[in-house]
Structure 1
Amino acid sequence: MFILFFGTRPGKTRESHLPGVSCPFCSQTGQLKARIQPRYIHIFWIPVYRLSPSELIQCGHCKKAYSKGDCSHEMQEALKKLKNE
């Protein structure tokens, strides 16, 4: 008999402040924080395939959170820079 352990796991979270970007809801500049966390398919806890990462931007002032579809153009550009780092 053979037991196979597989599933999905989160990867290492990367966080970064977005200093020149303002929040569309409260218009505060420098309060946005981006968070990117990849997910992996694993077999025996060894990552095999990377799935699309979860992306979230949250304002430190009003606490409003934005997913990728809700982001302004400035926020999307800042996310692209964070992904490429």
Structure 2
Amino acid sequence: MIFFGTGSANIDTKKTKNTVCQHCKTDNSLFINIYRRHAHVFWIPVFPLGKSGSSYCSHCKEVLSQKQMPEDLKMEYKNIKGNAKGPLWQFAGLAVLACLITFVIYSGGKDKENTQLYLNVPVIGDVYEYRANNGNYSTMKIRRVTEDSLFLSLNDYEINRISRLYKIEKNENYPEDTYGYSKSEVKLMKRQGIILNIERD
């Protein structure tokens, strides 16, 4: 379940100049509070949505929204709002997202590099994840390596999603029988998209 919503943070509070509270008529008692709303996912701020604010009288405690303010106060409010800068933490989610994207790109490149290395230099115990003719997925494990051939034990089970291969990747699921393939045949299966990934402990 994904939790998302909005929140707000006070980004500036300034005392107004040459203003009088319209309610209690006290001079220089008005403050402007500026807030910035932000969207969040799992309570992590992702990006700001906009700014709003209100005035506050320190003497009579009257609070006014922008629409309720007299014109002179409204002008000062707009200036303070325009100059108010929010905290960088309201962009924390974007920073996290950028890091995740960078990590995924790096990991994908590293996985591709490792797969090619494992394909060129196979060792006993390597597990080949492959797509079967019926569209399901399974694995086969290298039991013996010779100069030009690989001898693989085929997993007794298949599964309909590649992301669930871990459920059948168990030593007891591999029989003693092995099938021999030339190294060139295995590389061809990789190029054809039959072998999808190679895992090595």
Letter in 1 for 2:58: G
Partner residue of 1:34 out of 24, 27, 32: 32
Query: Deviations for 1:9-29, whole angstroms, at most 9, x for unmatched residues?
Result: 213431000021111112222
The residue that corresponds to 2:135 in the other structure is none
Whose helix proportion is higher, 1 or 2?
A: 2
Q: Which runs of 4+ in 1 moved over 3 A?
A: none
**How far, CA to CA, are the matches of 2:48 and 2:9 in structure 1?**
11
Superposed counterparts of 1:1-80, under 5 Å:
3-44=1-42, 45-51=44-50, 53-80=51-78
TM-score scaled by length of structure 2: 0.38
CA-atom RMSD, angstroms?
Answer: 1.7
Long gaps (5+) in structure 2:
84-201
Say which structure, 1 or 2, has more relative contact order (CA 8 Å, 6+ apart): 1
Matches of 1:28 and 1:60, distance apart in 2 = 9
CA contact (8 A) 1:19 1:29 kept: no
Give the CA deviation at 1:49: 4.4
Question: Which consecutive residues of structure 1, in runs of 5 or more, have no partner in the other structure?
Answer: none
Return the alpha-carbon distance in structure 1 between the equivalents of residues 18 and 63 of structure 2: 17
Contact persistence 1:57–1:66 (CA under 8 A): yes
Cα deviations by residue, 1:25-68 (Å, 9 ceiling, x for unpaired): 122221001101111112341323414x3311111111111111
Give the Å deviation of 1:70.
0.8
TM-score calculated relative to the size of structure 1 = 0.81
Higher strand fraction (1 or 2): 1
Which of 1 and 2 has greater Rg?
A: 2
